Structure 1
Amino acid sequence: MKVRVRLFAGLRERAGRDELELELPDGARVADALARVEHLAPGVALVLAVNREYASPDVVLAPGDELAVVPPVSGGAVLDGPLSLDAVAARVQDARAGAVVTFSGTTRDVAFLDYEAYAEMAAQRIEQIVAEAIARHGLCAAAADHRVGRVALGEASVVVAASAPHRPEAFAGAREIIDRIKAEAPIWKKEEGAWVAGTVPEVTGADAGADAGADAGAAPGVLDVRLEGRLEHGTQVVVVWGTAEAAARVGWLGGPFHQLRCEEPLAVRRNDRIEVRRPGDDELLAEGVVLDPQARQHGPTNDSLVRLSRLARGEDLPAPADAVRERDRPVAPPPLDAAALALERRYASAGAGALPDAELTTDERAALFALREAGRVVRLRRGRHVHVDFAPA
């Protein structure tokens, strides 16, 4: 069968066109289509959207499906023109609301940024994110807009508003909306002529957060774990707990922390020991401990890594109602692992001569994220970081 696949951002530029036509056998799966386009972005994790939903590799394709290849995203309405924070705040006014929280993400440090989107899917995804945040946090209302095209210095690229009877829920709802838009909406950012590396969208058999009323956003079968060994992001594995097991996909969060997105829930509890094995030959890939047996899907943000570090140390976390107050307190970044400490020594040895990011390995790029979050390196200019000891005044 013949299928047309839409391309965006850097993939579109490399291919020199907006879409490709692929000849695939009947019964072909998402993985087969991705294998035919991976040459456009060697070493970059790609996800296929089928009919405007992120699809797992084993989904079977059918003639007439709307396909789009989604590179890592760097991003309600998707608008080609200036955004208004007042307008989005007005959309969430409600007589029940005692708090209205707004957020505006603006261009900084550079003269402008260019944004591109898979507009139809991005609008649908933002609408879904907003609806799930309203249900999860008991909001009165919420709204979000994202801009495409050129956004000049100081102008807003994304605006979010959330209203609730009390401020903790309003803060939590607004925070979830912007974090998920950046992680999930197919929107890409170009800075000074180069596409900015973003987040690989998470893919499960169903959308993240589909059960909006379940356990404050927990998704059945999603485990936050600490493993004795690092697994590559996106690896297909089998999670074994006693005599029970479940197929899963790995999300690497940083250092020893991983998220395992199981196809079927496992009845594990916090601090239970698990094994992670390779499908087919049953090779042991890693062992570890469960930190959160009912986790929400999330990425490697500083907040999430701090939270997992605390769980790994055996600390109790604040109740959901105290979560916003907890965020207002200064928090230490997670401790640096051996890879981050080794990279810090490289930066210190380089002195004022900035180390080009292009020289870093994949593992070192992950360590650079940890160093930036810990405040041990600063960006001197695009593509180059310098140790804090040599940062310009």
Structure 2
Amino acid sequence: MTIKYKKPELLAPAGSLEKLKIAFQYGADAVYFGGKDFSLRAAAQNFSYEEMKEGAEFAHSLGKKLYCTINVMPKNEDLEQMPKFLKQLEEVGIDAVLVSDLGVLGMVKKHTNLAIHVSTQANTINYEACNVWESLGAERVVLARECSLEDIKTMREHINPELELEAFVHGSMCISYSGRCLLSSFMAGRDSNMGACTQSCRWKYSLVEEKRPNEYFPIEEDSHGTYIMNSKDLAMIEHLPELLNAGISSLKIEGRNKSEYYVAVIVNAYRQAIDLYYKDPENYKLPEALKEELYKVNHRKYHTGFFFKEPKEEGIIYDTNFHIRDYDMTAIVLDYDKETGMALCRQRNKFVKGDVIEVLSPGKFDQSFVAEEIYNEDGEKIDECQHPNMIFKIKTPFELEKNSFFRCKVKKK
């Protein structure tokens, strides 16, 4: 198979400074984040000025990039503070900003020299829109999730080769068009277009007949009920050759509200899969172990979104709105002593002596050991770690990197 396009960027979410550092450690080429204002993920921790500065310095020390999302749909009163915020982004050295509103794009150009990426919230689904965005100063367009691979190929053929295209390849999907939804505002008074979505689409609903108020009739797929707007998660790791030959410049992972562990697992899997493909595209085959990694985080059932065809009922999960959880992330490694073979860790979920612990490290996911020697902070032997954030030491048969993760299979009750 001939490689038509250069190796794309792997772009990871960073809901906090710690997640940013872990994303880079596990193989991301760039991360995107939100500041305290003007971001569409109000539930994320988001970055202060000092954190943005530290994040930019950290990224650039590795030769990597950092993008800030300013993709809200601002009202008049929201614009007053924006010039100051934009200048702060320029001061700290952000590599690009993501915008979806024409007014915000104009303000970025007026007040800064920041590179501009057009957010998926702008709903770009055709090449003429791409060309207009470029004429207005955009260097990259993040495509709407509703685009198919054929759509993307056609766009690539009708736009400037220098204009970059970015596409989501993994993570949560939205029932509404490119995430532009009023359901949360209507039902909970929280505006999804200002970053405060309550995910009302994933709630359980009942039917009410107008002449019988307060009588609720269940809408049932089975005994658990039904969730008529609950989209499956996107996962395209099995289709990397198709993605990489469509002319996509940046492969984007969704999840600024997800955990550090989630970021590490998903970035690690896609990093290795992409590198394997470019190492030998003629003989590339996705290792089954990499595919299985995607099932070791909390997830919904997976689907390929709009890439191959418009999803109908097969793109919705009707029987539950809970995530699938087959593994618990039990601890993160803070330090490792080579002389003693002891890892200093912070506990996240309970595990006990005798449990089989899998280890995820940058570029590795196939190591495991049995927990035998566990010590508390006072050096006392213990049989279990019960308390979240408890600091402990554990003997391991191999050396570990800082920010390696321990995980255990969920014990079936």
Task: Say whether the fold is shared (TM-score over 0.5).
Answer: no
Which structure: greater strand fraction?
1
Q: Larger relative CO (CA 8 A, sep 6+): 1 or 2?
A: 2
Q: TM-score, normalised by structure 1?
A: 0.25
The normalised TM-score by structure 2 is 0.24
Pick the structure with greater CA Rg: 2
